[in-house]
Amino acid sequence: MNTLAIIHYPVFGGPHNRLVSLVPLLAQRGVSTTVVLPEAPGNAHDWMRSAGLEVIEMPLRRDRARLDPRFHLAFARDLRADIRALRALIRERDIELVLLGGLVNPHGALAARREGAAVVWQVLDTRTPLPLRAAMMPAVGRLADAVMFGAEGLVRVHPGAARLRIPKVVSRPAVDTRRFVPSAQRRRAAREQFGITPDAAVVGTVANVNPQKGIEYFVRAAAVIARERPEARFVVIGHRDTNNPRYLAKIDREIGEAKLGERVVFAGARSDVEAVLPALDVKLITSVPNSEGTTTTSLEAMACGVPLVATRVGAVDEVVEDGVTGLLVPPLDPSVIARATLRLLDEPETRAAMAEAGRRRVEDGGFGLARSADLQAETYERALAHAARR
């Protein structure tokens, strides 16, 4: 089966990570995957190629949450050219199925339908405003042959999703439990790399530095924690997204105003996250409302035996068990985030119990890569059958 996966975002994130993990396993099941990414600044192209995936770059436009009507008019104007280019690629590669990531960019679905290919539409987060989610569901029902939701909760918050008359599948993130493991050796090496002493309390996050991830709330919580724990250090593992220069400046300004200085380490985007996650005592997820589905990084932290403090947004609670593998807190409240983090830092026995429970959850809770690849391949087959009937 020849498939084409279209992702409209050039910065490596959840959808890219999912493909990097699953494409080799899908190949073992007879599924070949070509990835299309936009010609735009970002690190996803190189990362996915270095992982062995075939990546094609195209001038692929995407809609954004902007108020300027000229932007949306330009998007609509260029949509036809993008569809023509994708149709040509589908014909050239003899593509049988198109996997579309992202709710509001229908280019791939329109191109696939015109070329007779099946469409699997992925809905992985809650970034799209609620009225637009409701408006897009009928289009998904008309254009797609199957829809994959990243969590049960995403079905509920997309009006009309439950009534779609096409195959619906819930496919949560998956993690490689052989790659992400607790490791005292990695813990020591990563702390040495970051210039952090072995006995310091280390709080970190794995997230691209952009508004959806709420990094300002991480910084503000860090300021509260630092007053209680002067020895604490804070690590941000993720890409500093140059598409948001004002946001980057805001984060740097808040770090300066809080006098955190060298206490905050920006580790950058890492392809070896499994090597640095064990350095953390607590991992934070500070995402804002209308941002996440579930987060792969929460599973990766749990696999490494790192407890979490996570904002209760999207469907994060389907992965992080409150009081068992971490603590769930309201979003947009750095003082509450800080108090929950300080509680875990002050209770090593609680942290140890959560570390053990987190590792056990990713091993036994259906988050394995093989199961996820089987489900993806099965969804492809169901979509092909639906397209044949259509």
Residues 260-296 have pLDDT tens digits of 999 999 999 999 999 999 999 999 999 999 999 999 9
Residues β-bridged to residue 148: 122, 169
Give the relative orientation of helices 107-115 and 130-143 as an angle to the nearest 10 degrees: 10
Residue 72 has pLDDT above 70, yes or no: no
Asked if the domains 2-174+368-389 and 184-364 are classified in one and the same CATH topology, the answer is yes
Helix (H, G, I), strand (E, B) or coil at 89: helix
Q: Assign 67 a pLDDT band (cuts: 50, 70, 90).
A: low
Residue 196 has pLDDT above 70, yes or no: yes
Q: Assign 325 a pLDDT band (cuts: 50, 70, 90).
A: very high
Q: Are 200 and 231 in contact (CB under 8 A)?
A: yes
Task: Name the CATH topology of 184-364.
Answer: Rossmann fold (3.40.50)
The number of beta carbons lying within 10 Å of the beta carbon of residue 3 is 23
Residues 4-13 have pLDDT tens digits of 999 999 999 9
Task: Name the CATH topology of 2-174+368-389.
Answer: Rossmann fold (3.40.50)
Name the CA dihedral angle for 292, 297, 299, 300, rounded to a multiple of 10 degrees: 170
Residues 218-261 have pLDDT tens digits of 999 999 999 999 999 999 999 998 888 999 999 999 999 999 99
Residues 87-101 have pLDDT tens digits of 999 999 999 999 999
Exposure pattern of 226-247 as b/e (b: 16+ CB <10 Å)? beebeebbbbbbbbbbeebeeb
Q: Provide the residue ranges of all domains of the chain, joining segments of one domain with +.
A: 2-174+368-389, 184-364
Residues 48-64 have pLDDT tens digits of 999 999 999 998 887 66
Share the mean pLDDT of the chain: 95
